Amino acid sequence: MFADLHLHTNFSDGTYTPEELVMHARRHGLSAVALTDHDTVEGCARMSAACRQNGLEFVPGSELTAELDGVELHLIGYFIDTEHPRLLGEMAKFQSVRQNRIREMVARLNKLNIPLEAEAVFAIANCRSPGRPHVGRALVQAGFCATLDEAFERFLKKHRPAWVPKFKISAVDAMALIHEAGGVAVLAHPGLNRSDDVIPLLVEAGMDGIECYHTKHTPSTCERYLAVAEQSHLIVTGGSDCHGLNKGKPLIGTIKLPYSHVLELKSRADEVRRSRLTPRPLANPPVS
Ligand code: AMP
Ligand code: ZN
Ligand code: FE
Ligand code: FE
C-alpha cells in the first residue's frame, strides 16, 4: 500500500479538480492521498468524498507559507480539523493577502504596458487562494507569453519585474496554529528552501515531521534529510507536489510512499489531540 502526501488541486494553484486528482491517484495504485493546497482547506470536503467513493484513504492538509530567521519555509499541517474556527479565520487572512498580491502583480504588469486585468486572473484562478501560476496562465491566455515558463522567466520569478513578495506567517505561529487545529506540523521540501540552519529551531518549536521524499529532492538530498529525521526523532513524509498539468507531465505517481508513514502521522495526530485536552504541566508550579 502506497501514499502520496503532497498534492494540489484547483482550490489553489493545481489544475486538477479533487475528483480528477483522486481518479489519477487510483490509476497510479495509491491507497492514501493528502491534499495540501496552499493556504486553504476548501478542497478537502470534495477530495474526501471522492476518496470515499473510490476506496482511498484521505488525509486532510494544507501547505502554509512560513518563515523563520528570514528563511522561507513551507509547513504542511496534516490531519488538521478543516472546520477549526481559528484556522479558518487565519486562512481567510492569507487568502485576502494573496488576492491583494495578485492586484499588485497586475499593477506592475500594467506599468510595463501589459494591459492585463486582475479580474482576468481571478476568473482563471476561480479560487480564494490565487498565486503566481494563475497570473502566468492569464498572461498566456491573453497572448502576452507563449508558455507558463516564459511568464515566470520574464515577469513572475523572484526579482523579476512583476514579482511581489508573499506574506509569510512565522513558522512558530504556523506550527502552533496547526497543533491547535489538531494537526501534525511537517516541513515540506527542505531541499528547496535552504532551511537546514533553522531545522534545529523548528524542532525545538515543536515540529513533528520532515518531507524527505519529494520529486525535486535528489537521492542524496533525501538521504541527508532521512538522517536529520532519525537524529531529531521526526516523522518522515513524502509526496509528489503534483500541480496537475501546470508544468507538462503531472507528477502524481512519481512518489509512492509506504503506507506505514501514514500510520505514523495518524498516531502523532492522536497524540496532538490528546495533549490539547490535557493541560500542559506548568514550568514553574506555584508553591503551595
Ligand atoms: P506563489 O505561491 O504565488 O508564490 O506561487 C508559487 C507556485 O508557483 C508554486 O506552486 C510553484 O510550483 C509555481 N512555480 C514556480 N516557478 C514556476 C515556473 N517556472 N513555472 C510554473 N510554475 C512555477
Ligand atoms: Zn503550488
Ligand atoms: Fe511548497
Ligand atoms: Fe506544494
DSSP letters for 211-280: EEEETT--HHHHHHHHHHHHHHTPEEEEE--B-TTTTSS--TTS--EETHHHHHHHHHHHHHHHHHHSPP
13 lines ligand 1 (CB under 6 A): yes
- Nearest-CA residue for ligand 1 atom 2 is 131
Burial of 249 from C-beta contacts in 10 A (0-12 / 13-18 / 19+): exposed
Ligand 1 pocket residue status of 247, Cβ below 6 Å: yes
Nearest atom in ligand 1 to 38's CA: 2
pLDDT in the model for residue 248: 78
Ligand 1 within 6 A of CB of 152: yes
pLDDT recorded at residue 97: 95
Any idea what DSSP says for residue 287? P
From the CA of 8, give the closest atom in ligand 1.
10
Q: Phi and psi (nearest 5°) for 156?
A: -105, -20
User: What integer pLDDT is reported at residue 283 of this predicted model?
Assistant: 72
What residues does 211 pair with on adjacent strands? 237
Counting as low any pLDDT under 50, the low residues of the chain are none
Q: CATH 3.20.20.140 region(s) of the chain?
A: 2-90+167-276
pLDDT reported for residue 21: 98
pTM, entire model: 0.93
Cα(287)–Cα(266) distance, rounded to whole angstroms?
38
Contact 75, 185 (CB under 8 A): yes
C-alpha cell at 14: 493545481
Whether the CB of 250 sits within 6 Å of ligand 1? no
Q: Which fold has domain 99-156?
A: DNA polymerase; domain 1 (1.10.150)
The neighbourhood of ligand 3, an ion, using CB within 5 A, equals: 74, 188
Say how many C-beta atoms besides its own lie within 10 A of residue 82's C-beta: 22
Distances (CA, A) of 36 to 82, 191, 229: 12, 18, 21
Beta bridge partners, 184, equal: 78
Cβ-count burial 92-102 (b if 16+ within 10 Å, e if not): eebbeebbebb
CATH annotation of 2-90+167-276: 3.20.20.140
Q: Return residue ranges of the chain for CATH 1.10.150.
A: 99-156
**Going by CA atoms, what residue is nearest to atom 14 of ligand 1?**
133
The answer, yes or no, to whether any atom of ligand 1 lies below 6 A from the CB of 131, is yes
Ligand closest in space to the Cα of 62: 4
Task: Compute CA distances 142 → 117, 138, 148, 166, 225, whole Å.
Answer: 10, 6, 12, 24, 42
